Amino acid sequence: MSKSEFDRRDFLKVMGVSGVAATVAGCDMPSYITSEEGAEEVIPYLSPEEYVIPGVGVWYASTCLQCPAGCGIRGRVREGRVLKLEGNPTMSLNSGKLCQMGQSALQSHYNPDRLTTPLMRKDGALAEATWEDALALMEEKTGPSSGISGHRFAWYTGSVSGHQNVLLKAHLEAMGSSNHFVHEVINTRVWQAVCKEMLGQSMPTLRIDKAGLVLSFGADFLGTWMSPIQFSAQYAAFRSGDERGMLIQAEPSMSLTGANADLWVAVRPGTEGIMALGLANVLIHKERMDASVLPPETQELIARYNVSITSRITGIAGDRLIRIARHLKNRSPSLVLAGGPAAGHTTGFEAVQAAMMLNILLGNVGETIEANADFAFPQLAALGGGTTDLNRFAHAAGSGQLDALFFDGSNPLFGAPDHMNLNEKFDAIPFKVAFSTFMDETTARADVVLPIASAIEDWGTHVAAYQNEQHEIAFQQPLMEPIHPLTRSFGDLLLALNAMRSPGTYDEIDDYYGYLQSALGAIPGVLKGEDAAEDDPLDIQLWNQILQDGRLEVPAETSLFTTSVSIKDITSPPTDEAFPYYLVPTPRSSLYDGRHANLPWLQEAPDQISKVVWTSWAEIHPVTASKLGLEEGDLIRITSASGVLEVPVYIFKGIHTDVVCVPMGQGHTEYGRYAKGRGVNPLKILDPGEDTRTGELALYGTRVGLAAAGRAGRMVKMGNTESQHGRKIVATITAEQQRRNEGES
Given the rule CB under 6 A, which residues bind ligand SF4?
64, 66-67, 69-71, 94, 98-99, 101-102, 228-229
Residue numbers 523-582 binding another protein by CB under 8 A: none
Q: Is 424 helix (H, G, I), strand (E, B) or coil?
A: helix
- Report whether 501 contacts 143 (CB < 8 A): yes
Among another protein, ligand SF4, none, the one that 64 touches (CB under a kind-dependent 5 to 8 A) is ligand SF4
Nearer to another protein, 80 or 385 (CB): 80
**The binder of another protein chosen from 19, 21, 44, 58 (CB under 8 A):** 44
> Minimum distance between the CB of residue 497 and ligand SF4, rounded to whole angstroms?
27
Q: How many CA atoms lie within 13 A of 443 on its CB side?
A: 24
* 22 in contact with another protein (CB under 8 A): no
**The binder of another protein chosen from 17, 32, 37, 508 (CB under 8 A):** 37
**CA atoms 276, 344, 585, 214: torsion sign:** negative
Residues 225-264, one symbol each (x = binds another protein by CB under 8 A, - = not), give ----------------------------------------
Nearer to ligand SF4, 102 or 521 (CB): 102
* 40 in contact with another protein (CB under 8 A): yes
Residue nearest to ligand SF4 (CB): 102
Nearer to another protein, 45 or 543 (CB): 45
CA-to-CA dists, residue 715 to 1, 175, 507, 632, angstroms: 37, 50, 57, 9
Nearer to another protein, 27 or 565 (CB): 27
* 41 in contact with another protein (CB under 8 A): yes
Torsion, Cα of 455, 461, 466, 471 (10° steps): 140
Nearer to ligand SF4, 95 or 518 (CB): 95
User: What residues does 217 pair with on adjacent strands?
Assistant: 250, 338
Nearer to ligand SF4, 229 or 265 (CB): 229
Q: Is 408 helix (H, G, I), strand (E, B) or coil?
A: strand
Q: How many CA atoms lie within 13 A of 447 on its CB side?
A: 18
Nearer to another protein, 33 or 136 (CB): 33
> Minimum distance between the CB of residue 102 and ligand SF4, rounded to whole angstroms?
3
CA-to-CA dists, residue 377 to 281, 462, 465, angstroms: 43, 12, 13
DSSP state of 595: T
Among another protein, ligand SF4, none, the one that 98 touches (CB under a kind-dependent 5 to 8 A) is ligand SF4
Burial class (CB in 10 A: 0-12, 13-18, 19+), 169: middle
Distance in angstroms (rounded) separating the CA atoms of residues 610 and 612 = 5
**The binder of another protein chosen from 18, 19, 31, 46 (CB under 8 A):** 46
Distance in angstroms (rounded) separating the CA atoms of residues 511 and 502 = 16
- Angle in degrees, CA 401, 402, 407, rounded to 5: 145
Q: How far apart are the first and last CA of the chain?
A: 62
Distance in angstroms (rounded) separating the CA atoms of residues 720 and 174 = 58
Nearer to ligand SF4, 70 or 672 (CB): 70
Max CA pair span of the chain: 87
Nearer to ligand SF4, 64 or 552 (CB): 64
Q: How many CB atoms lie within 10 A of CB 16?
A: 15
| Selection from 211, 218, 204 nearest residue 235 by Cα | 211
> Minimum distance between the CB of residue 115 and ligand SF4, rounded to whole angstroms?
22
Which residues are CB-contacts of 195 (< 8 A; sequence separation ≥ 6)?
201, 202, 203, 204, 356
Nearer to another protein, 43 or 83 (CB): 43
Residue numbers 52-91 binding another protein by CB under 8 A: 53-56
* 32 in contact with another protein (CB under 8 A): no
Distance of CA 701 to the CA centre of its chain: 20
Pairing of strands 246-251, 213-217: parallel
> Minimum distance between the CB of residue 73 and another protein, rounded to whole angstroms?
24
Distance in angstroms (rounded) separating the CA atoms of residues 658 and 589 = 24
Among another protein, ligand SF4, none, the one that 34 touches (CB under a kind-dependent 5 to 8 A) is another protein
**The binder of another protein chosen from 22, 27, 444, 716 (CB under 8 A):** 27
> Minimum distance between the CB of residue 679 and ligand SF4, rounded to whole angstroms?
21
Give the start-end residues of each E strand in 166-252. 180-182, 205-206, 213-217, 246-251
Among ligand SF4, another protein, none, the one that 69 touches (CB under a kind-dependent 5 to 8 A) is ligand SF4
> Minimum distance between the CB of residue 513 and another protein, rounded to whole angstroms?
24
Among another protein, ligand SF4, none, the one that 47 touches (CB under a kind-dependent 5 to 8 A) is another protein
Nearer to ligand SF4, 66 or 311 (CB): 66
CA-to-CA dists, residue 528 to 524, 539, 549, 551, angstroms: 7, 6, 18, 17
> Minimum distance between the CB of residue 521 and ligand SF4, rounded to whole angstroms?
28
The DSSP secondary structure of 12-37, one letter per residue, reads HHHHHHH-SHHHHHT--SSSS----T
Distance in angstroms (rounded) separating the CA atoms of residues 599 and 452 = 18
Nearer to another protein, 38 or 504 (CB): 38
Nearer to ligand SF4, 70 or 258 (CB): 70
> Minimum distance between the CB of residue 28 and another protein, rounded to whole angstroms?
8
> Minimum distance between the CB of residue 61 and another protein, rounded to whole angstroms?
23
Among another protein, ligand SF4, none, the one that 53 touches (CB under a kind-dependent 5 to 8 A) is another protein
Please report how the helices 490-501 and 512-521 are oriented relative to each other, as an axis angle in degrees rounded to 10.
80
**The binder of another protein chosen from 17, 32, 38, 123 (CB under 8 A):** 38
* 21 in contact with another protein (CB under 8 A): no
Chain contacts with another protein (rule: CB under 8 A) = 1-5, 7, 10, 27, 33-48, 53-56
